[in-house]
């Protein structure tokens, strides 16, 4: 079981190492958009949408890695003051009764929209934009699957009493 957890962890680590470059590219594209607009009077809807696409890709595909390295937002006010044993119990409860069901529900309810978007190859958000909204919508199930897998990995480690690698 721990080998499965290691494989899931490495999947999210590898994805994170690839998409981290989108942050730099996004800044450079946004900088180019601002220079183009205010210095040269040139504007591109597609360039503006590309920043949106990169931003969505970065956050949606890095969510599993964020969960792996425990950098997600915690709302539990009792967690910080809890003993390690209690934190483990809270984490197990959270994965089984909150995270896994919510990701499963999001995957289930978003799938028809993603499927329909692919059927019609849904076009741009704005006139002159990127003609690939179907790709953008595909990030939703990808996000769900990566977070679900990472949740399973963490749950395996919590149940076997092992820390993440």
Q: What is the pLDDT of residue 78?
A: 82
The answer to whether the beta carbons of residues 124 and 49 sit under 8 Å apart is: yes
Per the CB < 8 A criterion, the answer to whether 34 and 118 are in contact is no
pLDDT at 125 (0 to 100) = 84
For residues 13-46, one letter each, b for 16 or more C-beta atoms within 10 angstroms of the residue's C-beta and e for the rest, the string is eebbeebeebeeebeebbeebeeeeeeeeeeeee
Give the pLDDT confidence score for residue 80 in this predicted structure. 85
> pLDDT by residue for the chain (165 residues), tens digit each?
999 999 999 999 999 999 999 999 999 999 999 999 999 999 999 999 999 999 999 999 999 999 999 998 877 788 888 999 999 999 999 999 999 999 999 999 999 999 999 999 999 988 999 999 999 999 999 999 999 999 999 999 999 976 554
* C-alpha to C-alpha distance for 70 and 95, rounded to whole angstroms: 13
Q: Report pLDDT for 163.
A: 58
Contacts with 111 (C-beta within 8 Å, 6 or more apart), sequence order: 141
Q: What is the DSSP string of 91-142?
A: HHHHIIIIIHHHHHHHHHHHHHHHHHHHHHT---SSTTS-S-HHHHHHHHHH
Give CA–CA dist 35/42, Å, rounded: 9
């Amino acid at each position: 079981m721990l080998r499965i957890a290691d494989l899931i962890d490495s999947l999210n680590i590898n994805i994170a190492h690839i998409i981290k470059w989108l942050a730099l590219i996004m800044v450079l594209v946004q900088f180019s958009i601002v220079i183009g607009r205010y210095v040269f009077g040139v504007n591109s809807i597609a360039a503006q949408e590309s920043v949106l696409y990169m931003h969505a890709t970065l956050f949606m595909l890095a969510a599993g890695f964020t969960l792996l390295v425990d950098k997600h937002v915690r709302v539990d006010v009792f967690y910080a003051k809890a003993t390690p044993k209690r934190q483990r119990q809270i984490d197990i409860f959270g994965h089984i009764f909150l995270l896994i069901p919510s990701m499963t529900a999001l995957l289930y309810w978003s799938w028809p929209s993603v499927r329909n978007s692919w059927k019609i190859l849904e076009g741009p958000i704005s006139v002159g934009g990127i003609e690939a909204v179907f790709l953008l919508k595909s990030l939703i199930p990808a996000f769900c699957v990566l977070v679900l897998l990472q949740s399973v990995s963490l749950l395996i480690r919590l149940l076997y009493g092992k820390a993440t690698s």
